[in-house]
Amino acid sequence: MEKKISVLEASIAENKACLKRTPTEVWRDSRNPYDRNRQDKAPVGLKNVGNTCWFSAVIQSLFNLLEFRRLVLNYKASITCSRFTPKPKGKVTGCFSLVNYPDSMGNNVTEFILTGLSQNEQVQQLCFFLFLLFYMILMTGNFFIVMTIQRSPNLNSPMYFFLSFLSFVDICYSSVTAPKLIIDFQAKVKRISFVGCMVQLFCVHLFGCTEIFILTVMAYDRYVAICKPLRYTTIMDWKVCSILVLTCWLGGFVHSFIQTILTVQLPFCGPNLIDHYFCDVHPLLKLACTDTYAVGLIVVANSGMISLSCFVILVGSYTVILLSFKTRSSEGRHKALSTCASHITVVILFFVPCLFIYLRPSTTFTEDKMVAVFYTIITPMLNPMIYTLRNMEVKNAMKRLWLGRNRRYPDVKLNGVGTA
């Protein structure tokens, strides 16, 4: 007991001696408390140099503020230049500088780091060759669809007009994310600049939303062709088709512009690690140094409601089409059903993942990356196979155009419905 009292008395005397040091005197003790030897392993505390209680009270009061708390927890000094972890003193100093100069909050992050699909090197090497194969199949199949429809006079119905635009959008949509993903499989640090991230965000939503609208227009085209065959050529003339395609692009642009403006104005003060393989709204909202509840609601109302409303329209259209089969002959029913089956398959593969991602509050899950692969790469890759394997007109046109055969293949149409 006497030894412990003597140890404490010595510690108090040392603290008093330290308080009497002059401003120019060097602090002789190590900053690490564990480097200061004590007898009998007595506990070591911080040296009281004054004002610590006042500062602690101020920090605790400020920490009750949401903005300040997120600023402290997320602050990371010199994100793109520093190669070391900032010390607590640097974090607090940086946070107070941002409080004094809030206009600089949005300039702290100049680049983002993507986690990618996997951190395992062997898995990344396997994914590199797998997704490279996927992308080559995607580009080749959709390119053949576009060129075959454009150069085949027999494929001049509105259905193939919309199909060629769908393939073109699939090429653009996947090219926004797939090349970057494939290159990042070989990179140790998957970097993307702030500007590049915002451009990628804009393009992803531009082509993604445009594809949603084109699929909806294609469902309307099938509805008119099957349910109103005698009026099909009158209703779906080339002027109407051109207006519908232009409307799809305009709707995708407006949607993407809103998403990008909402995101780019958010302050990003760190960290800069995006748990995804491309820049999307939900992962970026998670990094923002401000309350994103209102922005998250707008994102759900924008992306989620567009996906849901178009999906409901699609389901309603194909339900009416399927019910109309009762009045048709068995041969006509089979041909129309074969055509609609390919459309329904594409709709399910594309819309279900989109609804899972965007029709929910601003939260992220580990499964989001794998789900996003379906609507950014898998579905665009499968579209040419789905639309051509069951469509004799497209297969015959490809044989004539690309294989150079002279044999004539019958091209049978059923009021624009197509054959299977």
Note the pLDDT of residue 213.
Answer: 94
Architecture in CATH for domain 114-402: Up-down Bundle (1.20)
User: How far does Cα 153 stand from its chain's mean position?
Assistant: 39
**Contact of 317 with 220, CB cutoff 8 Å:** yes
Note the pLDDT of residue 342.
Answer: 74
Instruction: Band the pLDDT of 61: cuts 50, 70, 90.
Output: confident
Instruction: Band the pLDDT of 4: cuts 50, 70, 90.
Output: low
Select from 388, 412, 411, 415 the least CA-distant residue to 141. Answer: 388
Half-sphere exposure of 11 (CA within 13 A, CB side): 20
**Contact of 159 with 225, CB cutoff 8 Å:** yes
Give the model confidence (pLDDT) of 147-171 as tens digits: 999 888 888 889 899 999 999 999 9
111 has which bridge partners?
A: 193
Quick one: average pLDDT of 71-84? 49
Q: Domain extents for the chain?
A: 2-41, 62-100, 114-402
**Contact of 290 with 262, CB cutoff 8 Å:** no
Let me know the angle formed at the C-alpha of 371 by 369 and 372, rounded to the nearest 5 degrees: 65
Cα–Cα dist 334/412, whole Å:
14
Quick one: average pLDDT of 227-248? 91
Cα–Cα dist 32/269, whole Å:
29
Phi, psi of 196 (to 5 degrees): -60, -35
Quick one: average pLDDT of 296-321? 87
DSSP structure class, residue 32: S
Phi-psi region of 416 (alpha: psi -120 to 50; beta: other; left: phi over 0): left
Phi, psi of 112 (to 5 degrees): -120, 155
The CA R_g of the chain, rounded to the nearest whole Å, is 31
Where do the DSSP E strands lie in 75-209?
A: 111-114, 190-193
Instruction: Band the pLDDT of 333: cuts 50, 70, 90.
Output: low
Between 74-83, 143-152, 207-216, the lowest mean confidence (pLDDT) is in 74-83
273 has which bridge partners?
A: 113
**Beta-carbon contacts of residue 252 (< 8 Å; ≥ 6 apart):** 205, 206, 207, 208, 209, 210, 212, 213
- 3-class SS of residue 420: coil
Instruction: Band the pLDDT of 172: cuts 50, 70, 90.
Output: very high
Give the model confidence (pLDDT) of 371-418 as tens digits: 999 999 999 998 888 877 667 888 888 888 777 654 444 444 434 444
151: how many CB neighbours lie within 10 A of its CB?
12
Reading the block at residue 202, the tokens are: 């804009």
**Contact of 266 with 107, CB cutoff 8 Å:** no
Question: Residues, the chain, total?
Answer: 420
Note the pLDDT of residue 413.
Answer: 43
